[in-house]
Amino acid sequence: MRFTINRDRFVHDVQNVTKAVSSRTTIPILTGIKIVAHSEGITLTGSDSDISIETFIPIEEEGTEIVTIDEQGSIVLQARFFAEIVKKLPGDNIELIVQDQFATTIRSGSSVFNLNGLDPEEYPRLPQLEEDLLFRLPQDILKNVIRQTVFAVSTQETRPVLTGVNLETENSDLICTATDSHRLAMRKATIQKNDEGLVFSNVVIPGKSLNELSKIIEDNNDLIDVVVTENQVLFKMKNLLFFSRLLEGKYPVTKSMIPTQSKTTLRLKTKPFLQTLERALLLSREGKNNVINLKTIDSGLVEITSISPEVGKVTENIETDVQGEEMRISFNGKNIIDALKVIDSEEIDIVFTGAMSPFVIRPIDHDQYLHLFSPVRTY
Amino acid sequence: MRFTINRDRFVHDVQNVTKAVSSRTTIPILTGIKIVAHSEGITLTGSDSDISIETFIPIEEEGTEIVTIDEQGSIVLQARFFAEIVKKLPGDNIELIVQDQFATTIRSGSSVFNLNGLDPEEYPRLPQLEEDLLFRLPQDILKNVIRQTVFAVSTQETRPVLTGVNLETENSDLICTATDSHRLAMRKATIQKNDEGLVFSNVVIPGKSLNELSKIIEDNNDLIDVVVTENQVLFKMKNLLFFSRLLEGKYPVTKSMIPTQSKTTLRLKTKPFLQTLERALLLSREGKNNVINLKTIDSGLVEITSISPEVGKVTENIETDVQGEEMRISFNGKNIIDALKVIDSEEIDIVFTGAMSPFVIRPIDHDQYLHLFSPVRTY
């Protein structure tokens, strides 16, 4: 194998596939990235067997030559070293040559690296997915969907299925749900289907996969194709494929948990309320459970308090419009703060159904997402 | 005690004194910062007994009122909480009130914090230094002196005196030296003395103290007064005092270690040479000791190599002017990189005195600093 490639483009793609590589893998070949030079260009692959990323660099793009292939072939190189080396190389171009026994030479400017490569035949093949279940949505929307749900997944392995985000269809909407059983984030997005009859549910993508995907997808409205199979999901972008395994198990039915009535509703400005809770959390995170207390004082005033026996107490009054009954409730302030941080709307409604019942936070200007929280018992 | 203060100014000074506070202190009162309201303004103190910082906020500055004192007094408040609380308060001003039993109320905007304070009488007094040995230099020069020496102090407690930077006078110069016995950084600076006859040596300031001081001093040429006593040093800035204890023990005489002759001298551009070594270090840090090899090829070429048996080898040729004999030497690349990073000059000379003898790196355009390194034996 022998090729010369534009350094910046190569660095960009090497960094993308390296996101899938784990140093803690038990399969030695997966500490490497696979590089294939073929007639169309260069294909790079990285994988930790949960996530696999494949990118393609064409010979030429928009009239500019990116790669010159002198001899086709393939090699696997240690991802951690290789990514750092290409990033630090001095020239505008990089020449990569593989000789006998996978001995690899990388030249750029005055620099020559001789690296011990690995046998590309040992590298596992990526899954071939049948593209029956396919839908599309813009990249920036998907990025937002991930941001507004993935923070709420469980980090505990006691119920593995809760460490993922659940996807299901509802008419022409995709509904994404994440919950750790104390809080729940739900986000809807309109999708284009390849087949009007496309229906699925219980497609649970690991939160870790979505976090990595989110770093790769760009903030534009290019469409991304999503292929769903029994145990894999594939996100197809221009010149990049992102595969993730799906989580096994039955995702809980969450629709029925969302209260439809209201005893008390508060309308609040998102950012000032977030800041009030952050101040209260300074003390309550010293105790256990990050408990913050909320009490309606009259129809126009709410009091937020939190206490740490050792440090002291914080009290803050917020002017607001209180609709409905008096309310006195305690909650995990950290969970509410996490949710407020991903709400882009300026105002929210908090809808309470009772001091011991779950409550809902939703933006006032649309119904595409909501957050549900369990109260905390304090006695 | 009761006063109202401009929030931004208070936050700035609270953050400065908090730099001296350690959460790992064995003296409980030192986890707090001391706040004193007196007729002139507010004085804040933080200390971990090695470093103490005192700042002063005047009632009025340049015609603008900063503090209103309603009742003089003092209190000690938990530094970690207090610094975070004042940073997050919503109003432009902060009111602080101390009542019975050190119960402290902090009001700002809609926010009210009630904190448990500590008895200010328990807070240790700062040392009173006699100002016999006093010199001055501009703040930005001092900041550079610290940056160009402190990285080379030893991090090992086997020879505690080497964890500090040694100060001594030589005519109208201050000479600062740091060494971990494998490398040495020396920096001179011109100082103004209060007494022409001022002479001192073996004044060893802990590296940690200088790192904290460096974060506080600003990048302008305001003069800073330095007072040296038997076991303390005091840096006096406008409205801020920074005390540090000195390290005990005899600092090694380093002057005689610096070679005055040359067998081989290379002239190199600082930044490209730094980048070459960073690439070489990618492999050599995998082995032990970060060993990088340098070999003169002819009068105009030097070869840099490093090897990791598992990963591979890197070779780089640098065009340069080689004066003197052929040279083949190995060194700890990380140490050279650390030094090159703090050299502001575009070109350097490397002066070798033999393959097994210490060598010197110095900027070509002045003799205010130099770096000395031991070679590494490779066989």
The domains found in chain B, sorted by start residue, are: 2-122 (3.10.150.10), 134-220+246-255 (3.70.10.10), 260-373 (3.70.10.10)
8 Å CB contact of A317 and B110: yes
Give the integer Cα–Cα distance in Å for B186 and B255.
10
8 Å CB contact of B88 and A115: no
The partner residue sitting opposite B81, judged by closest CB among A282, A315, A316, is: A282
Predicted confidence (pLDDT) per residue in A274-284, tens digit = 999 999 999 88
8 Å CB contact of A81 and B318: no
What interface predicted TM-score (ipTM) does this complex get? 0.88
Q: How much is the CA Rg of chain B, to the nearest whole Å? A: 25
pLDDT band of residue A23 (cuts 50, 70, 90) is confident
Structure-block tokens of residue B378? 């490779």
One-letter identity of residue A105: T
Exposure string for A134-168, b = 16+ CB within 10 A, e = fewer:
bbebbbebbbbbbbbbbbbbbeeeeeebbbbbbbb
Please say whether the beta carbons of A82 and A68 come within 8 A.
no
Cβ-based contacts under 8 A for chains A and B:
84
pLDDT over 80 at A223, yes or no: yes
pLDDT band of residue B100 (cuts 50, 70, 90) is confident
Interface test with B, best of A110, A271, A315 (most B CBs within 10 A): A110
8 Å CB contact of A282 and B88: yes
β-strand partners of A103: A116
Across A235-252, average pLDDT? 96
pLDDT at B43: 98
Structure-block tokens of residue A242? 């992102």
Interface test with B, best of A23, A76, A81 (most B CBs within 10 A): A81
Task: Compute the Cα dihedral for A66, A71, A75, A81 and give only its sign.
Answer: negative
Give the integer Cα–Cα distance in Å for A240 and A20.
13
Interface test with B, best of A111, A274, A276, A313 (most B CBs within 10 A): A111
Predicted confidence (pLDDT) per residue in B347-360, tens digit = 999 999 998 999 99
Nearest CA to CA, how far is A143 from chain B (Å)?
Answer: 30
Across B19-34, average pLDDT? 91
Identify all chain A residues contacting B301, using CB atoms and an 8 Å cutoff.
none
Nearest CA to CA, how far is A287 from chain B (Å)?
Answer: 13
8 Å CB contact of A314 and B89: no
pLDDT band of residue A379 (cuts 50, 70, 90) is low
The partner residue sitting opposite B116, judged by closest CB among A312, A314, A315, is: A312
- Tell me which H or E stretch contains B318: strand B312-319
Q: Does A310 touch chain B (CB under 8 A)?
A: yes
**C-beta neighbour count of A39 within 10 angstroms:** 7
pLDDT over 70 at A288, yes or no: no
Give the integer Cα–Cα distance in Å for A302 and A20.
47
8 Å CB contact of A81 and B276: no
8 Å CB contact of A313 and B283: no
Percent of chain B with pLDDT over 90: 84
Tell me the average pLDDT of chain B. 94
Across A345-361, average pLDDT? 95
8 Å CB contact of B276 and A313: no
Across B231-239, average pLDDT? 95
8 Å CB contact of A316 and B112: yes
Instruction: Tell the burial category of B125 from Cβ atoms under 10 Å away from its Cβ (0-12, 13-18, 19+).
Output: exposed
Identify all chain B residues contacting A85, using CB atoms and an 8 Å cutoff.
279, 282
pLDDT band of residue A99 (cuts 50, 70, 90) is very high
Which DSSP category does A379 fall into?
-
Q: Does B85 touch chain A (CB under 8 A)?
A: yes
Predicted confidence (pLDDT) per residue in B285-299, tens digit = 766 679 999 999 998
Give the integer Cα–Cα distance in Å for A355 and A375.
7
Predicted confidence (pLDDT) per residue in A35-67, tens digit = 999 999 999 999 998 999 999 999 999 999 999
The partner residue sitting opposite B311, judged by closest CB among A112, A116, A314, is: A116
Nearest CA to CA, how far is B283 from chain A (Å)?
Answer: 8
Q: Which of A203, A186, A173, A328 is nearest to A257 (CA)?
A: A186
Q: Is A9 left (phi over 0), alpha (psi -120 to 50) or beta?
A: alpha
The partner residue sitting opposite A313, judged by closest CB among B89, B114, B279, is: B114
8 Å CB contact of A115 and B311: yes
* Nearest chain B residue (CA) to A106: B314
Identify all chain B residues contacting A113, using CB atoms and an 8 Å cutoff.
279, 283, 312-314
Please say whether the beta carbons of B268 and B293 come within 8 A.
no
Exposure string for B276-287, b = 16+ CB within 10 A, e = fewer:
bbbbbbbbbbbe
pLDDT at B260: 87
Q: Does A316 touch chain B (CB under 8 A)?
A: yes
Nearest CA to CA, how far is A249 from chain B (Å)?
Answer: 42
Nearest CA to CA, how far is A179 from chain B (Å)?
Answer: 30
Pairing verdict, β A223-228 and A312-319: unpaired
Interface test with A, best of B278, B301, B308, B311 (most A CBs within 10 A): B311
- The CA dihedral of B361, B363, B364, B369, to the nearest 10 degrees, is -90
Nearest CA to CA, how far is A316 from chain B (Å)?
Answer: 5
Give the integer Cα–Cα distance in Å for B148 and B142.
10
Identify all chain A residues contacting B112, using CB atoms and an 8 Å cutoff.
314-316
8 Å CB contact of B316 and A111: yes
Q: Does B113 touch chain A (CB under 8 A)?
A: yes
pLDDT at A374: 95
Nearest CA to CA, how far is B307 from chain A (Å)?
Answer: 9
pLDDT at B287: 65
pLDDT over 90 at A133, yes or no: no
One-letter identity of residue B10: F
8 Å CB contact of B316 and A81: no
* Distance (Å) of CA A148 to CA A182, A254, B368: 16, 17, 56
pLDDT over 90 at A331, yes or no: yes
Nearest CA to CA, how far is B332 from chain A (Å)?
Answer: 19
8 Å CB contact of A114 and B314: yes
8 Å CB contact of B279 and A310: no
Predicted confidence (pLDDT) per residue in A3-18, tens digit = 999 999 999 999 999 9
**Residue length, chain B?**
379
Q: Is B16 helix (H, G, I), strand (E, B) or coil?
A: helix
Across B244-265, average pLDDT? 93
8 Å CB contact of B85 and A279: yes
* Nearest chain A residue (CA) to B278: A88
Identify all chain B residues contacting A79, using CB atoms and an 8 Å cutoff.
none
Nearest CA to CA, how far is A317 from chain B (Å)?
Answer: 6
Q: Is B113 helix (H, G, I), strand (E, B) or coil?
A: strand
Exposure string for B98-120, b = 16+ CB within 10 A, e = fewer:
beeebebbbbbbbbbbbbbbbeb
